[in-house]
């Protein structure tokens, strides 16, 4: 391979490329224009100036509509909708530059020039102005500055935030300084995206925080938001919503104002406002974007709303001087920039020359509704004459004199009643003033630099007559100065200034116009708790009651209730749900109820825990007194029966009933009557043990005695049944023999037997021993119960919510079940024995008496179970006492009433004859009775009863 040949070819190709590059470069230099014509209005004064400062102001509100025709050269759109307020801002920049040029202490050797363009409140015009300013001629050539002359210092502008974002992206490419007076959007804080952007207006982060704090201060939790469809509105309202929603405020609606007039969108927004229950509406928008909405609000007469205004329209005459605005926006609260008075500014505003430039000429013609052009005035006059039906003579007369609608140029600006001449609320105007002075002071510091002590490489300084934008940027970032006439110290903290706002309230003045009344201020550098200061008494609200409005989706939940969130709705929309029993809420808007301590309960309003009512069956209450009286009566009656038996102890009736066993039974009934009294009163350890044990032992002794009596009766009944069965068998055999004569004769009957003697197998001693043993078993069981798990007082807090029931806890269910099951077993045995002996014949039927007594006992206690389980508190004790008393009275009446009747009323029956067996039956057979079996043949000496059973 020929490497040398390849090398030569390579060098030849490089040479050709260099030549072509130089040719193209020369061609580019010779024709560096782009084929685009910009239509820009503004002011320019650059001749013989040391440094040129740029400016950009939205003097017009919008672009004029034009017919786009691609068959001709495209022309940049014109602007319409003259804005007197922003025109004043542009004039303020001119005034500030003139003032600086006249000063000897600021830039004494430098004369400032200016280039000011109208951005028309649109991004495209702002970009046109920026490119034109950078390239130095009307046809923008990116990356080239084709103009000559003084260096460019910085751009003051460009008005709205979205305009500054567009211009800052372009200026940042060349590291060209930009100082904004009205662009407060928080996104401009990013130095990564906008490295050369600075501003003399606070960031909307501060304003959004201030708006949120205002809403929270007045307790508004239900607000609507409206924002312009640009970066200013979107970022401002987004930050506001983040702060208030974190604090619990809900957004009723969030609407966006269109940048291009759209009647349908405006109508929809107004209908949303009307339908919403939110009385507070936060608006983050410029006055130009808000104006169409205001027209629609007035048309629908939307009143009784309080509007929270951003700084872009709170002091705008376009809104506040709109006809009829008082009925809709009166009472508006908003945040205005720091206000200042600028001496001599009004003289400058009133002294402008209408013929100086096209922009001023347009201002004059718009302000006075006339024209400065004679030819236009003449054409207008002729057209008006023709419209009015005038003749040629009238047209010539109009042409001969001064045409109607012709400006003289001598009209008095002082007579104007518009925002241009109003210098009472210089806020954004003051921000423009500070921006111009910031650039001037940075240039002054650059001019004052001492070589060798400068900030640049090797202590170098920049040449004021020929410097690079990045050099001025250094001085701008570090500038610190006092504003003339106000003394305010201005410096940039990473391109931003501190957030200071006057809080304004729109109030109707005596003349019927809106006045901006300062009611407080907001200082972002103060501690959080003292950043906002408001005089509430000085606020005039926009409602019929002239008092602070409420704006909540749901009214405040009072103490005693809690918030119940509605599904699918914001958290501020809720139902107030009363706290459950035993729970309270002692604050408003409680999210949950608080459970009362175990010994407390909620009051009727559910806002306080009160001690539960202590309940027990007291001695002193009527029910307790009644039960005591009944128990005492039962005990006295039982004692009276014992006395009657004692008096008649030697009578047959008492003897045959085993007096000692009867006295034991009466004693046990006295015990059961009196133990019921122990159930009354506040439960104590001793009373709990005494009542339960006395009841168990009392019934055990009672039922044991009854069982002993009924057991004897049962044995006697069985003996009688055997005798009767034998007699019946003999009688049947005899009857059969008589009926069959042919039958062989029966065997001879044995000789009549002598009467048989029958001795009871159950002796009285056995009965007493049975009663003693059965009772002793219960006593042992109760002793074990008391030793291991005795009954004890207990606070029952679950039976009834509002009461603490003092009751006796049995200790162990197994023990108490076994003990009372034992009593039930004794009762069942006594009943079975008595029921077996119920047919024994005597004068008072003791078997039947015991049977009925036990039936009453069972009926009472079977009824007791459901009654006891269905009651609570002291009535449970009352039911238990009633069961004890009823069963005791039943046993007393059924067993002893027949005997007492005989002893007291029928003493003639209390004889040995009456105790003997009665004759009954067709066969005249003697039938033994319970008493005849224990006849006088008993031997009292040896304690045995010998009964004779006679059978014929």
- Model confidence pLDDT, tens digit, residues 721-745: 777 777 787 777 777 766 665 555 5
On the question of pLDDT at 139 being above 70, the answer is: no
List, in sequence order, the alpha helices (H) in 258-369. Answer: 263-275, 287-299, 317-320, 326-329, 345-350, 358-368
Question: What is the total residue count of the chain?
Answer: 952
Q: How far apart are CA 502 and CA 534, in angstroms?
A: 10
DSSP-based three-state secondary structure for 630? helix
Residues paired with residue 227 on neighbouring β-strands, in sequence order: 256, 284
Q: Write down the residue that tokens 């109508």 correspond to.
A: 267
> With DSSP H G I counted as helix, E B as strand and the rest as coil, what are the percentages for the chain, rounded to 5?
45, 15, 40
On the question of pLDDT at 24 being above 60, the answer is: no
Q: What is the pLDDT of residue 362?
A: 92
DSSP-based three-state secondary structure for 199? strand
Q: What is the pLDDT of residue 921?
A: 44
Q: How far apart are CA 496 and CA 355, in angstroms?
A: 39
pLDDT band at 141 (very low <50, low <70, confident <90, very high): low
pLDDT higher for 632 or 750? 632
- Model confidence pLDDT, tens digit, residues 247-259: 989 999 999 999 8
Identify whether the C-beta of residue 872 lies closer than 8 Å to the C-beta of residue 805.
yes
pLDDT band at 758 (very low <50, low <70, confident <90, very high): very low
On the question of pLDDT at 136 being above 90, the answer is: no
Identify whether the C-beta of residue 233 lies closer than 8 Å to the C-beta of residue 184.
no
In order of 656, 834, 864, the CA distances from 851 in angstroms are 19, 5, 20
In order of 626, 807, 876, the CA distances from 887 in angstroms are 17, 23, 17
Q: Which range scores top for mean pLDDT: 103-107, 380-384, 657-661?
A: 103-107
On the question of pLDDT at 867 being above 80, the answer is: yes
Q: How far apart are CA 237 and CA 183, in angstroms?
A: 15
End-to-end CA distance of the chain: 166
Helix (H) or strand (E) holding 843: none
- The C-alpha R_g of the chain, in whole angstroms, comes to 59
pLDDT higher for 871 or 284? 284
On the question of pLDDT at 27 being above 90, the answer is: no
Q: Cβ neighbours of residue 603 under 8 Å, at least 6 residues apart?
A: 584, 609, 610
Identify whether the C-beta of residue 436 lies closer than 8 Å to the C-beta of residue 53.
yes
For CA atoms 497, 499, 502, 505, the dihedral sign is positive
Q: Cβ neighbours of residue 21 under 8 Å, at least 6 residues apart?
A: none
Rounded mean pLDDT of the chain?
Answer: 83
Summarize the confidence of residues 54-70 as an average pLDDT: 81
pLDDT band at 565 (very low <50, low <70, confident <90, very high): confident
Q: How far apart are CA 613 and CA 512, in angstroms?
A: 67
Pairing of strands 306-309, 333-336: parallel
pLDDT band at 933 (very low <50, low <70, confident <90, very high): very low
CA angle, 139 as apex, 138 and 145 as ends, to 5°?
Answer: 90
Identify whether the C-beta of residue 134 lies closer than 8 Å to the C-beta of residue 145.
yes
Summarize the confidence of residues 174-178 as an average pLDDT: 94
- Selection from 417, 796, 380 nearest residue 615 by Cα: 796
Q: Which two tokens stand for residue 759?
A: 């001795």
Q: Which range scores top for mean pLDDT: 31-35, 383-387, 581-585?
A: 581-585
Identify whether the C-beta of residue 521 lies closer than 8 Å to the C-beta of residue 503.
yes
Could you count the other beta carbons within 10 Å of the beta carbon of residue 547?
Answer: 9
Cα 484 → chain centroid: 52
DSSP string, 837-903: TTT---SS-HHHHHHHHHHHHHHHHHHHHHHHHT--THHHHHHHHHHHHHHHHHHHHHHHHHHHIII
Q: How far apart are CA 198 and CA 211, in angstroms?
A: 23
């Amino acid at each position: 391979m020929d490497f040398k040949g390849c090398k030569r070819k390579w060098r030849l190709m490089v040479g050709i490329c260099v030549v072509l590059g130089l040719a193209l470069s020369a061609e580019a230099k010779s024709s560096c224009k782009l084929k685009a014509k910009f239509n820009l209005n503004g002011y320019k004064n650059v001749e013989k100036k040391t440094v040129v400062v740029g400016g950009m102001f939205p003097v017009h509100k919008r672009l004029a509509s034009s017919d786009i025709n691609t068959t001709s050269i495209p022309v940049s759109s014109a602007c319409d909708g003259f804005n007197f307020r922003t025109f004043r801002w542009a004039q303020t920049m001119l005034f500030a530059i003139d003032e600086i040029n006249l000063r000897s202490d600021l830039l004494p050797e430098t004369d400032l020039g200016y280039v000011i363009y109208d951005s028309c409140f649109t991004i495209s015009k702002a970009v046109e102005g920026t490119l034109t300013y950078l390239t130095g001629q009307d046809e923008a050539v990116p990356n080239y500055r084709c103009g000559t002359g003084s260096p460019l210092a910085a751009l003051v502008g460009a008005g709205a935030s979205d305009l500054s974002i567009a211009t800052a992206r372009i200026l940042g490419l060349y590291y060209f300084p930009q100082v904004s007076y009205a662009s407060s959007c928080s996104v401009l804080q990013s130095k990564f995206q906008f490295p050369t952007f600075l501003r003399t207006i606070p960031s909307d982060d501060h304003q959004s925080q201030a708006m949120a704090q205002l809403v929270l201060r007045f307790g508004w939790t239900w607000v609507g938001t409206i924002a312009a469809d640009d970066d200013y509105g979107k970022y401002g309202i987004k930050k506001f919503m983040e702060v208030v929603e974190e604090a619990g405020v809900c957004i009723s609606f969030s609407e966006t104002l269109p940048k291009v007039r759209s009647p349908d969108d405006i109508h929809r927004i107004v209908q949303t406002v009307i339908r919403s229950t939110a009385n507070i509406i936060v608006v983050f928008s410029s006055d130009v974007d808000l104006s169409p909405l205001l027209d629609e609000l007035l048309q629908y007469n939307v009143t009784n709303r309080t509007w929270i205004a951003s700084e872009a329209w709170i002091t705008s005459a376009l809104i506040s001087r709109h006809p009829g605005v008082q009925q809709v926006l009166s009472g508006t609260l908003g945040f205005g920039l720091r206000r200042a008075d600028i001496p001599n500014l009004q003289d400058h505003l009133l002294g402008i020359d209408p013929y100086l430039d096209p922009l001023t000429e347009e201002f004059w013609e718009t302000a006075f509704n006339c024209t400065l052009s004679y030819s236009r005035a003449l054409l207008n006059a002729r057209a008006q004459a023709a419209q009015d039906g005038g003749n040629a003579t009238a047209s010539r007369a109009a042409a001969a004199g001064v045409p109607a609608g012709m400006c003289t140029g001598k009209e008095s600006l002082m007579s104007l009643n518009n925002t241009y001449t109003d210098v009472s609320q210089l806020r954004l105007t003051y921000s423009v003033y500070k921006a111009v002075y910031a650039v001037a002071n940075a240039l002054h510091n650059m001019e004052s630099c001492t070589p060798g002590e400068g900030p640049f490489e090797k202590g170098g300084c920049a040449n004021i007559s020929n410097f690079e934008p990045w050099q001025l940027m250094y001085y701008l970032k570090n500038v610190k100065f006092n504003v003339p006439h106000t003394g305010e110290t201005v410096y940039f903290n990473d391109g931003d200034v501190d957030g200071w706002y006057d809080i304004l309230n729109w109030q109707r003045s005596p003349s019927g116009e809106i006045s901006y009344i300062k009611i407080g201020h907001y200082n972002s550098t103060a501690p959080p708790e003292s950043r906002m200061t408001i005089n509430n008494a000085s606020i005039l609200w926009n409602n019929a009651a002239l008092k602070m409005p409420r704006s909540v989706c749901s009214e405040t939940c009072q103490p005693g209730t809690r918030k119940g969130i509605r599904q699918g709705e914001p958290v501020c929309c809720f139902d107030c749900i009363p706290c459950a029993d035993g729970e309270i809420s002692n604050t408003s808007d409680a999210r949950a109820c608080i459970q009362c301590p175990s010994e407390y309960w909620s009051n009727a309003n559910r806002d306080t825990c009160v001690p539960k009512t202590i309940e027990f069956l007291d001695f002193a209450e009527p029910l307790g007194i009644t039960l005591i009286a009944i128990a005492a009566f039962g005990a006295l009656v039982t004692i009276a029966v014992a006395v009657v038996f004692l008096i008649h102890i030697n009578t047959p009736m008492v003897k045959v009933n085993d007096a000692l066993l009867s006295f034991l039974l009466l004693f046990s009934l006295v015990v059961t009557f009196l133990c019921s009294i122990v159930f009354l009163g506040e439960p104590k350890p001793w009373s709990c043990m005494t009542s339960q044990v006395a009841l168990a032992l009392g019934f055990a002794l009672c039922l044991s005695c009854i069982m002993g009596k009924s057991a004897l009766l049962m044995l006697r009944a069985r003996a009688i049944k055997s005798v009767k069965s034998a007699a019946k068998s003999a009688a049947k055999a005899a009857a059969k023999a008589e009926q069959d004569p042919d039958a062989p004769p029966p065997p001879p009957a044995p000789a009549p037997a002598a009467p048989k003697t029958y001795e009871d197998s159950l002796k009285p001693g056995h009965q007493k021993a049975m009663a003693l043993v059965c009772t002793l078993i219960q006593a042992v069981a109760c002793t074990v119960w008391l030793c291991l798990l005795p009954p004890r007082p207990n606070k029952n807090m679950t039976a009834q919510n509002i009461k603490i029931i003092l009751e006796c806890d049995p200790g162990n269910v197994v023990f108490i079940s076994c003990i009372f099951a034992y009593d039930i077993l004794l009762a069942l045995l006594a009943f079975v024995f008595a029921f077996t002996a119920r047919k024994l014949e005597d004068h008072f039927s003791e078997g039947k008496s015991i049977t009925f007594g036990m039936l009453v006992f069972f009926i009472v206690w079977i009824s007791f179970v459901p009654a006891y389980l269905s009651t609570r508190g002291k009535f449970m004790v009352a039911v238990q006492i009633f069961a004890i008393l009823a069963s005791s009275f039943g046993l007393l009446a059924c067993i002893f009433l027949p005997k007492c009747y005989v002893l007291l009323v029928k003493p003639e029956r209390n004889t040995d004859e009456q105790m003997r067996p009665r004759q009954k039956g067709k066969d005249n057979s003697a039938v033994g009775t319970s008493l005849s079996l224990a006849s006088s043949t008993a031997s009292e000496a040896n304690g045995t009863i010998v009964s004779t059973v006679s059978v014929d």
